[in-house]
Amino acid sequence: MHRFANPARFLRISRVLLPLAVAIAVLSGVLGLYLGLVLSPADYQQGEVARIMYIHVPAAILSSGVYFFIAVMSACFLIWRHTLADVLAREAAPIGAVFTVITLLTGMLWGKPTWGAYWVWDARLTSVLILLMLYLGYMGLASAGGHDMRGKVATAWLALVGAINLPIIKFSVEWWNSLHQGESLLRADGPSIAPSMLHPLMLMLVAFVAFFLALLLLRAEAALGEVKLRRLQIQRIARKNAAIEL
């Protein structure tokens, strides 16, 4: 773990993974959309409107998955103070927030013909809305704290506390009476979706994960460049001050 926390080693790995992630995202996304929107049948109950699941379900999984990643990186930062862990957590947050917005918007579009309303205060919907608030709070605190160590620590703790919401999102349809349908993909006994719909859905999930990885690598590379530049500027100022004192 410590070997991969080295920024220089991370950048070397990133240069290899980035084009691969982009290629996987494009290929699986195009194929998944074609299979899902053209070849797969309409749902026997919801009809054509159910095709929105090829965007909604992967976005929903990634909205929680990215926050879980942020919580893990925050824990690594608090334990080992690795700069890379803090950078990855901060740079993943805006991506996860966008996935959460996509989840809410597509869910509302799906809910109107299904439930008769764009929004209901359902347990699943409400907990995902809280997740978006957590993302926004995390990004706000990270921006306000800047590069101060105390700000970074406070931001990491916020991410860990917010992770309590993740099991609530996952099990909300089981713990409370919910309009939201139960899990059909991530089930202990296997997916309950027909193969003709499951295959494009899995391709879209792969596309979303690869897309997230590509964006994260790009953002992390830029952020690490800023960290290096800031250190060089501090060293330059320190040398100037030392020269003036002499």
**Going by C-beta distance under 8 Å and a sequence separation of 6 or more, which residues neighbour residue 206?**
24, 28, 32
Residue 132 contacts residue 101 (beta carbons within 8 Å): yes
Structure tokens at 27: 């290929």
Structure tokens at 138: 């995390």
What is the per-residue pLDDT across 115-139, written as a single tens digit (0 to 9) for each?
888 988 888 999 999 999 999 999 9
Q: Is residue 8 part of a domain?
A: no
Q: Is residue 110 part of a domain?
A: yes
Across 44-58, 62-76, 107-121, 185-199, least confident range: 185-199
Q: Is residue 178 part of a domain?
A: yes
CATH of the domain at 199: 1.20.120
The domain tally of the chain equals 1
Q: Is residue 68 part of a domain?
A: yes
Q: Is residue 231 part of a domain?
A: yes
This prediction's pTM: 0.92
Provide the residue range defining the domain that includes 237. 19-185+192-245
Please give the mean pLDDT across all residues of the chain. 90
Res 4: pLDDT: 66
Structure tokens at 136: 């926004």
Res 235: pLDDT: 75
Residue 60 contacts residue 209 (beta carbons within 8 Å): no
**Going by C-beta distance under 8 Å and a sequence separation of 6 or more, which residues neighbour residue 99?**
59, 62, 63, 66, 208, 212
DSSP for 131-142 reads HHHHHHHHHHHH
Query: 37-40: long-range contacts (C-beta < 8 A, 24 or more apart)?
Result: 39/196, 39/200, 40/196, 40/197, 40/200
**Of 112, 61, 109, 69, residue with least CA distance to 87:** 69
What is the per-residue pLDDT across 123-181, written as a single tens digit (0 to 9) for each?
899 999 999 999 999 999 999 988 889 999 999 999 999 999 999 999 888 777 776 77
Across 42-46, 70-74, 220-224, least confident range: 42-46
Q: Is residue 130 part of a domain?
A: yes
Residue 39 contacts residue 201 (beta carbons within 8 Å): no
Q: Is residue 210 part of a domain?
A: yes
Place 2 in a pLDDT band, splitting at 50, 70 and 90: low
Q: Is residue 14 part of a domain?
A: no
